A and B are shown apart, each in its own frame.
Chain A
Amino acid sequence: MDLSKYVDLFLSEGREHVAELSGALAELESAPASADAIGAAFRAVHSIKGMAAAMGYAAVTERADALESALDILRRGDEQLTPSSLGDLIDEADTLAREIELAVTVPAAGPAGAADTSAADASASSTRKRAAHVRIRASRLDSLMNLVGELEIARGQLERELRNVGGDAVSSAFASTSRLLSELREQVIGARMVPVGDVFERFPRLVRETARSLGKEVDFTLDGAEIEMDRSILDRIGDPVMHLLRNALDHGIESAEERASNGKSARGRLTLSAQREAGYVLIRVADDGSGIDRDSVLARARQAGIVGRETDSLDDVTLLRVLAHPGFSTAASVTNISGRGVGLDVVDAAVRLLGGTIEIKTVARRGTAITLRLPLSVAIVRALIARVGEELFAIPFTHVVETLHLTPPPATFGGAEWTETNIGDSIVRVVMLRVLFGVEPCVTERMPGVSVLARGRRAALIVDDFVGQQDVVVKRFDPPRGGSSMFAGATVLGDGSPALIVDVNSLI
């Protein structure tokens, strides 16, 4: 059976079904229990599956089958739709749409028994095209990354041993091995990189739908969709970014009337941008709305005991600390839009877990910008290695501003874990890592420290001395039950000794 004459029909009708699916999923945004919408989504996916199977498009068929199963569970009422499972469905639908477009550009053999010679010819001529992409399980990439990490550790040990051996031939062989290993690492990290657009491309529609349901007029811009980052990080910031967008639409951007009376254009502006900066990716959600009402946040924060009575204004840093306080919400009434989502505390926690930081800038009547600073890769971070007592600790460079020597403030001589002092014209928290880590305190006149920045706040961590800096392979572990850990993970250094990775966020 010659399937080629059905390709156009498959594509055009497949696109229609994708549109129906998108429409149904958008409806589920505002009415998560709508049986009609779930049914429509299910039928659209089911049709796509049948058509794809008939055409022999295995990838599309598999995708559609998985999505159909997920929708069927909802259809039977075995599970309820949650915002995050809806997000997953939208992602799956986007992928399905891409698979459909991809399938028709790469001729495939027909279903078993239906392929004829022309299909076979077509598939032979497309071999080169298909070889350009290979699907790899993410777990396999993780194993590769792990192995590269272990290799780095072995390289460090080898380097140590070679110091005692010497010889030009040996050191030149070692140098080229090191160089190749660095290249290998870059390649493996690169293989995990995907453009942020893969996850962000569903946001324009989401913003449109949300704005419509709020009765607001908004121009949405997505910048830097081509910026690449580690897939595992990207996957985990989708929900936080969605929450920030919803917050901006719900609480940030004013109604058209209110904007007009403030002399603004009727249409609000919302921008989601991604940008590379050194070893990081900055994800920024910026709106030109009303800005965060510091006074009302302050009042609530005082009430909740998050800030003391003496605090009479909130700078950006304190504001973020208050907003990120678990459970804090400024919504006067819990609206349908952001009330059901996660709070800024959850965004903050998600970003911290990835080794990132969050910054906020807000100006009354001008708008708010929230920036997530995220590492390019979760697997390897550049860190400063410091000694505290007998142990070595890694402090990720994400947070390091500079190293310094300072005279610890008097309070620390009494054995305090931390205190505050003036450095230059700002008040900085001084953290005595020895005390914090349960090592016998030892305070001298002049101590080495590292100035760090996290969540917009400066702090100085006092250590015993610095050992060096290196790329460390992060081995994550779960924080202890019921409490946040001071450590973001562990690593093994070049000499084979273990080191804990300090979670700077938790110290500030």
Chain B
Amino acid sequence: MSHTVLVCDDAVFMRTMLSDILQQAGFTIVGEADTGTKAVAKYKELRPDLVTMDIVMPDMGGIDAVREITAFDPAARVVMCSAMGQQALVVDAIQAGAKDFVVKPFQPSRVLEAVQRVLG
């Protein structure tokens, strides 16, 4: 059975591109979220195997969302996907419970590598 993924990013464009990369690699996209608040709610609802999380989102940012998700489920597997310039937040993200960090622009191979390692 393929792994399920929740894709969180405020840009449709990014969600589409990420979903494409993951689907082509055999993952099932079970949900998408465009704010941190929705990401937390969807996680609780869908319990996906994996979450990709943008950092800069309206309403609630990605790092706070990761914190809430890992508080809810310490075993949650979250990969941060954010644009360059946010590398300084890697430490914050990891402390919040993220398992890996991919910097946009994505190279499909790098995304899949991170995802597979996290699911490892």
The reply to whether chain A is a binding partner of chain B is yes
Q: Which residues of A contact B (CB under 8 A)?
A: 1, 6, 9-10, 13-14, 17, 39-40, 42-43, 46-47, 49-51, 53-56, 65, 68-69, 111-114
B10 touches A54 (CB 8 A): no
A111 touches B105 (CB 8 A): yes
Bound CA span A292–B87, Å: 56
Best-buried of B14, B21, B56, B109 by chain A (most CB within 10 Å): B56
B104 touches A54 (CB 8 A): yes
* Apart from A51-B11, A56-B105, A111-B107, 4 more pairs, CB < 8 Å: A6-B17, A13-B11, A54-B17, A112-B107
B83 touches A50 (CB 8 A): yes
Across the two chains, which residue of chain A brings its CB closest to B54? A50
B12 touches A68 (CB 8 A): no
Bound CA span A55–B11, Å: 13
A6 touches B56 (CB 8 A): no
Q: What class of interface size applies to chain B in its complex with A?
A: 20 to 34
A39 cross-chain contacts in B, Cβ below 8 A: 58
A54 cross-chain contacts in B, Cβ below 8 A: 13-14, 17, 104-106
A42 cross-chain contacts in B, Cβ below 8 A: 56
A47 cross-chain contacts in B, Cβ below 8 A: 10-11, 14, 56
B57 touches A43 (CB 8 A): yes
A9 touches B105 (CB 8 A): no
A43 touches B13 (CB 8 A): no
Across the two chains, which residue of chain B brings its CB closest to A3? B17
A-B contact count (CB 8 A): 64
Across the two chains, which residue of chain A brings its CB closest to B103? A53
B83 touches A46 (CB 8 A): yes
Is B108 positioned at the interface, with any CB of A under 8 Å from its CB?
yes
**Residue of A51, A69, A111, A114 touching B13 (CB-CB under 8 A):** A51
Main secondary structure of the interface of A (DSSP, over half): helix
A6 touches B13 (CB 8 A): yes
* A38 nearest CB across to chain B (Å): 13
B10 touches A53 (CB 8 A): no
Bound CA span A168–B107, Å: 69
Bound CA span A214–B57, Å: 33
A46 cross-chain contacts in B, Cβ below 8 A: 56, 83
Is B84 positioned at the interface, with any CB of A under 8 Å from its CB?
yes
A53 touches B108 (CB 8 A): no
B105 touches A65 (CB 8 A): no
Best-buried of B13, B14, B84, B107 by chain A (most CB within 10 Å): B13
* A306 nearest CB across to chain B (Å): 52
Q: Which residues of B contact A (CB under 8 A)?
A: 10-14, 16-17, 21, 54, 56-58, 82-85, 104-109
Across the two chains, which residue of chain B brings its CB closest to A20? B58
B57 cross-chain contacts in A, Cβ below 8 A: 43
Across the two chains, which residue of chain B brings its CB closest to A9? B13
**Can you spell out 15 A-B residue pairs with CB atoms less than 8 angstroms apart?**
A9-B12, A9-B13, A10-B13, A17-B11, A39-B58, A47-B14, A50-B14, A50-B105, A54-B14, A54-B105, A56-B105, A111-B105, A111-B107, A113-B107, A113-B109
Given A6-B13, A10-B13, A13-B13, A40 contacting B104 (CB threshold 8 A) = no
Given A51-B11, A65-B85, A6 contacting B16 (CB threshold 8 A) = yes
Bound CA span A17–B13, Å: 11
Across the two chains, which residue of chain B brings its CB closest to A56? B105
Given A68-B85, A111-B107, A40 contacting B58 (CB threshold 8 A) = yes
A65 cross-chain contacts in B, Cβ below 8 A: 84-85
* B111 nearest CB across to chain A (Å): 11
B83 cross-chain contacts in A, Cβ below 8 A: 46, 49-50, 53
* A274 nearest CB across to chain B (Å): 38
* A169 nearest CB across to chain B (Å): 63
**Residue of B14, B21, B58, B108 touching A43 (CB-CB under 8 A):** B58
* A269 nearest CB across to chain B (Å): 39
A50 touches B11 (CB 8 A): yes
Across the two chains, which residue of chain B brings its CB closest to A49? B83
Bound CA span A325–B9, Å: 55
A43 touches B56 (CB 8 A): yes
* B60 nearest CB across to chain A (Å): 12
A55 cross-chain contacts in B, Cβ below 8 A: 105
Bound CA span A43–B16, Å: 18
* A384 nearest CB across to chain B (Å): 55
Across the two chains, which residue of chain A brings its CB closest to B18? A54
B85 touches A43 (CB 8 A): no
Bound CA span A25–B30, Å: 36
B104 touches A53 (CB 8 A): yes
B58 touches A114 (CB 8 A): no
Bound CA span A42–B85, Å: 13
Across the two chains, which residue of chain A brings its CB closest to B106? A54
B82 cross-chain contacts in A, Cβ below 8 A: 50
